[in-house]
Amino acid sequence: MRYRILGPLSVTVDGHDVAVTAGRDRVVLAMLLLHAGRVVSVGALADAVWGVDPPATARGQLQTCVSRLRRSLPADAIRSDPAGYCLTPGLGELDAAEFLRLVADARRSGDTALYRRALDLWRGDAAAGIDSHDVRLAADALDQQHVAAIEAWAELETAAGRERDLIGELSAAVDRFPLQERLSGLLMRALRGAGRQADALAEYRRIRSALRDELGLDPGSELQRLHVTTLTGSASATAVIRCLPRTVGDFTGRDEVVRRLVGAIDAAGRSAPVIAVIDGMAGSGKTTLALHVAALLGDRYPDAHLFVDLHGHSAEQPLDPAAALLVLLRQLGVEADRVPPGLVDRIGLWRTELAERRVLVLFDNAASSAQLADLLPTTPGSLALVTGRRRLLGLDGVHPESLPVLEPAEAVDLLARIAGERVRAEPEAAAEVARRCGGLPLALRLAGARLAHRPRWRVADLVRRLGESALPELAAEERSVASAFAVSYRQLPEAVRRVFRLLGLSPGTDFDALTAAAMTGLPLPAAQDTLDDLIDVHLVDEPEPGVYRLHDLLREYAAALATEIPAGDRAEALRGALDLQLHAAVASNLPAYRGAVERDIGELSPLRPDLLAAVSDPVARLERERPHLRAYVEAAASAPGLGHYAWKLPRAAWRQLFMRGYLDDVQSMNERALALLRRDGDRAGTATMLNYLASVHYRRSQMAEAARLLEQCIAIRRTLGDRDALARALANLAVLHHENGRWEQSIEIALQVRRLAAARYGRDEVNVLANAYQHLGRFREALRCHRLRLMMQLDVRDPTRIADSLWNIAVLKHRLGEVNVAAARRQVGVALRLLQRSAYPHGEANAQHEMAKLLAAEGRLAEAIAGHRRAVALAERLTDRELESRICLAFGQTLRLAGDRAAARLLLERALRVSEQVRLPYALALAQAGLGDHLIDEDRAEARRLLGRARATLAALGAYELADVEESFARIGGEDQLRTGAVGETIGA
């Protein structure tokens, strides 16, 4: 099989031509060959065939083209991919690949015969005769590499003194590429060497005229210097040495980085050479930044601006120091025959040439510190700018700058500068493109170029083309984000590449070394070392110590590589990550609670002892991993054989998430798990998820939904015969009855729970009894229950429940007259500090609420108001409407004591409004009573109405606050005008 694209497209099999005559087929085949080994998206193929306006049937027509091609080519030649199609020729089958291989070998060895073999493969312009804009763009890139190869070959031939033999071939090349300055310069040298100065000067006039007419530019400094030399016949004619590549005109952002670099260079002064090293991930704009800084500071280095590409991260081998010195010395004007052959002598000549000069040198794409050691300037007053993907830790006395991706606003600005005002007209779509590109400048440039070359596209069209998998679309000609990543990836040892691939399977966007070790099977120290290796080449980032992250596009690239891993190995890696998360989540529970967790989820799979031992603070780890738990649940739910992790992980993590107020996480994970369990018919797991999903609705005061879920849970528990699990569900139902004001029913259920599970940990029914007795005015019994609960919790060692018992005891003792307000306040203060240390915001809000009430009773109104404000802020963050109503009620009463009646009324009205939304009769009655009492002197009719409703509800509930409402009602005078039946309607609400 032989594919030829270096000229007209042709295909031969065993020496016989394969006819590919249909125009669309030839375009498709040309695109696949020009991007050989890479997936070409359906969109890119459609653009190549039809331009900016492909028909609705484009995908089907392309499938027909590919089918015809497959009939002509070997059966497995064209591979289908979800993103498009890929053609990967074998070794020696594609002339373009053979050309690139020979050129790379020639550059490494300096062998002109290899260049000659590479150049002989060409039969004309690449893909000649194919009328497609996108094919021509890709083919032009090959043509440019052809020019570069001719130039490199001619340089070597010229250095060997064989320039006379080059005139014919260089003349033909100049005819094909009339605007290539370097090519014209080589022809001028060859003509001059043959004694044909007039022809050399004529070539200069030709290219000067062509450049002015076509581009509006004058020839560069090197060609001008050659012109002067040809005119004078002397090699000593001076000219400004400016060898830096063209920089971009749309440099965007990086203000702070530029300030740091310029500041560091300024601070170094001229007493020593300055070395600034810019490292960063592939495509982050390192060279662009270095050229921008060079342009800002260039005037300080008037003698020479030099540039050398060290090929540290490219398809070629890194440039050895001797070859780099040859490039630099020739840029300085040193004749080829003056450059010594040995490295040591070249170093000496380099330093001698720099001794009296102020020079700026850009060492681009450095591979290592060793590669640079002998190249860096030693002369004071010189500046070396170094770029590379690897952190060059072996260089001393440098200013290092690791380049991050662009900020969102900077990314949109860059997109706008490339693609124009369309970007500003669609800010949301532009922000989405920037997000899909991950702020990576190369990705943004490629995306912007697609938009700029398609004037009919809206930015939203580009968003649709990028889809959920942006990487295949971020390509133009020979440039692509994936190929930039691939160079960094291929240069890694296989063991490190394996870890990178497996990290692409990690469900979370962030991960730690424990996760890497669990997924890869590596010992923890080895996993840490491998992550450090990946950090050094910017394939992994470390945004904070011990926390690692893959850039979004690198994650997509790693995930694509991971598809090549056998399915069993992928499943094992994901299982390792899930096992680690599950063990750590279980360990985040207090020892007294772990028994219940393990009874619910069953026996855990064993975890490697070194990983288990390394989870030193499971609560802190769970807090850090919390944003990724939903992704872990989804990954488990989607992976064959791993679905059980999708409900066990939320169950194990529930207590910490619930206590810290992460209700959205609890709800989303439990709902996903519940659907999975119901699908699989797992009744015990379903009951567990129903129980913990009910907790979210309870905390949000959605009592009807919480009760519905709990009743389903209890029905399942009764049929399964699990007395302990049934007791837990019934205890939760008792809490719901308590919140609904059904205190007698909650007491009845709590006593039933006590009979079911007399030895249950924590004895939640004791808390239910304590709170119910308290609301019924049975304060002594409530105090006894809270004291009993405190003693139990001292054994359990749950600081949140200990604190809850402490402040309840303090409030009750103060109500019963056993302690004064100051003593009660001190005890509540102890509870409050304990809750704050435990990161339990709901408990903290309650304790802060009680503290503010005690401060108000003590007459310390300013402190009380500040405490109320803190409590309100906590309730708002938790979206706990019942708690918010209670706090606003007390806050309004304190403001009333402080004499601010207007502000007090606003808070009391807010308490009523919120309580009406949650529809809990007890909370509603208290809010009605509070506002009614406040309005007695302002609006007696409204006060009467509110107090009457409150009195009816509290009487029906048996609440102890009824006496206070009766007293307020008596201040109005007259009888209540409430209609019969209003009480029942209120309680049933």
Provide mean pLDDT across the span 23-40. 90
For 547, counting Cβ atoms within 10 Å of its Cβ (0-12 exposed, 13-18 middle, 19+ buried), the class is: middle
> Are residue 394 and residue 282 in the same domain, yes or no?
yes
CA distance 461 to 444: 15
Whole-number pLDDT of residue 978: 39
Given a contact cutoff of 8 angstroms between Cβ atoms, the answer to whether 97 and 105 are in contact is no
Q: Kindly indicate the confidence band of residue 239, based on its pLDDT and cuts at 50, 70 and 90.
A: low
Provide mean pLDDT across the span 576-596. 93
CA distance 772 to 790: 17
CA distance 708 to 589: 27
Whole-number pLDDT of residue 988: 29
Backbone dihedral region of 780: left (phi > 0), alpha (psi from -120 to 50 degrees) or beta? alpha
Task: Identify the domain boundary among 130, 160, 190.
Answer: 160
Provide mean pLDDT across the span 729-737. 93
Neighbours of 584 (CB within 10 A): 25
> Are residue 439 and residue 329 in the same domain, yes or no?
no
CA distance 817 to 823: 11
**pLDDT 10s digits, 677-689:** 999 999 999 999 9
> Are residue 134 and residue 269 in the same domain, yes or no?
no
Neighbours of 349 (CB within 10 A): 17
In a domain, 384, yes or no: yes
Whether the pLDDT of residue 983 is over 90: the answer is no
Give the range with max mean pLDDT: 347-361, 658-672, 958-972: 658-672
Provide mean pLDDT across the span 31-48. 90
What residue has token string 């975890």?
Answer: 607
Provide mean pLDDT across the span 712-736. 92
Provide mean pLDDT across the span 787-791. 92
Whole-number pLDDT of residue 233: 65
Task: Identify the domain boundary among 463, 484, 505.
Answer: 484
Cα distances from 366 to residues 219, 359, 928, in angstroms, run 29, 19, 75
Q: Kindly indicate the confidence band of residue 315, based on its pLDDT and cuts at 50, 70 and 90.
A: low
Whole-number pLDDT of residue 194: 81
> Are residue 278 and residue 360 in the same domain, yes or no?
yes
Whether the pLDDT of residue 169 is over 90: the answer is no
Whole-number pLDDT of residue 254: 86
Give the residue with greater pLDDT, 432 vs 267: 432
Helix (H) or strand (E) holding 532: helix 524-536
Whether the pLDDT of residue 903 is over 90: the answer is yes
Q: Which two tokens stand for residue 523?
A: 């010992």
Structural domain for 69, as ranges: 1-160
Whether the pLDDT of residue 977 is over 60: the answer is no
Task: Give strand pairing partners of 548.
Answer: 511
> Are residue 395 and residue 430 in the same domain, yes or no?
no
Provide mean pLDDT across the span 540-547. 89
Percentage of the chain modeled with pLDDT above 70: 95
In a domain, 30, yes or no: yes
Task: Give strand pairing partners of 479.
Answer: 476
Whole-number pLDDT of residue 477: 64
Whole-number pLDDT of residue 641: 92
Q: Kindly indicate the confidence band of residue 824, based on its pLDDT and cuts at 50, 70 and 90.
A: very high
Given a contact cutoff of 8 angstroms between Cβ atoms, the answer to whether 951 and 963 are in contact is no
> Are residue 377 and residue 416 in the same domain, yes or no?
no
For 137, counting Cβ atoms within 10 Å of its Cβ (0-12 exposed, 13-18 middle, 19+ buried), the class is: middle
Q: Which residues are CB-contacts of 848 (< 8 A; sequence separation ≥ 6)?
A: 832, 867, 870, 871, 874
Q: Kindly indicate the confidence band of residue 979, based on its pLDDT and cuts at 50, 70 and 90.
A: very low
In a domain, 191, yes or no: no
Closest CA to 407 of 432, 447, 435, 446: 435
Provide mean pLDDT across the span 277-283. 89
Given a contact cutoff of 8 angstroms between Cβ atoms, the answer to whether 85 and 32 are in contact is yes
**pLDDT 10s digits, 456-492:** 888 888 888 887 677 777 776 667 788 888 888 888 8
Q: How many CA atoms lie within 13 A of 981 on its CB side?
A: 1
Whether the pLDDT of residue 975 is over 50: the answer is no
Q: How confident is the prediction for the chain on average, in pLDDT?
A: 88
Task: Give strand pairing partners of 544.
Answer: 547
Whether the pLDDT of residue 564 is over 60: the answer is yes
Q: Alpha-carbon torsion 256, 257, 260, 266, what sign?
A: negative
> Are residue 272 and residue 386 in the same domain, yes or no?
yes
Give the range with max mean pLDDT: 215-229, 236-250, 634-648: 634-648
Give the residue with greater pLDDT, 459 vs 317: 459
Whole-number pLDDT of residue 974: 46
The phi, psi pair for 780, rounded to 5°, reads -65, -45
Whether the pLDDT of residue 980 is over 60: the answer is no
In a domain, 125, yes or no: yes
Whether the pLDDT of residue 987 is over 60: the answer is no
Q: Name the pTM for this structure.
A: 0.68
What CATH number has the domain bearing residue 313? 3.40.50.300
Q: Kindly indicate the confidence band of residue 970, based on its pLDDT and cuts at 50, 70 and 90.
A: confident
CA distance 801 to 840: 10
Whole-number pLDDT of residue 759: 45
Q: Which two tokens stand for residue 499?
A: 């870890």
In a domain, 111, yes or no: yes
Percentage of the chain modeled with pLDDT above 90: 45
> Are residue 379 and residue 461 in the same domain, yes or no?
no
Closest CA to 2 of 123, 110, 115, 85: 123
- Structural domains counted in the chain: 4
> Are residue 276 and residue 382 in the same domain, yes or no?
yes
What HEC string does 427-483 produce? HHHHHHHHHHCCCCHHHHHHHHHHHHCCCCCCHHHHHHHHCCCCHHHCEECCEEHHH
Whole-number pLDDT of residue 253: 84
CA distance 908 to 867: 17
Give the residue with greater pLDDT, 454 vs 929: 929
Whole-number pLDDT of residue 986: 30
In a domain, 299, yes or no: yes
Q: Which residues are CB-contacts of 983 (< 8 A; sequence separation ≥ 6)?
A: 952, 953, 955, 956
Backbone dihedral region of 467: left (phi > 0), alpha (psi from -120 to 50 degrees) or beta? left
Task: Identify the domain boundary among 139, 160, 181.
Answer: 160
In a domain, 601, yes or no: no
Q: How many CA atoms lie within 13 A of 139 on its CB side?
A: 25
> Are residue 322 and residue 390 in the same domain, yes or no?
yes
In a domain, 537, yes or no: no
> Are residue 102 and residue 8 in the same domain, yes or no?
yes
Which of 278-282, 353-357, 879-883 shows the lowest per-residue confidence on average (mean pLDDT)? 353-357
Q: Which letter does DSSP use for residue 34 in this model?
A: H
**pLDDT 10s digits, 80-136:** 887 789 998 988 899 999 999 998 888 877 788 888 899 999 998 899 888 888 898
> Are residue 28 and residue 118 in the same domain, yes or no?
yes
**pLDDT 10s digits, 383-408:** 999 999 888 888 888 889 988 888 98
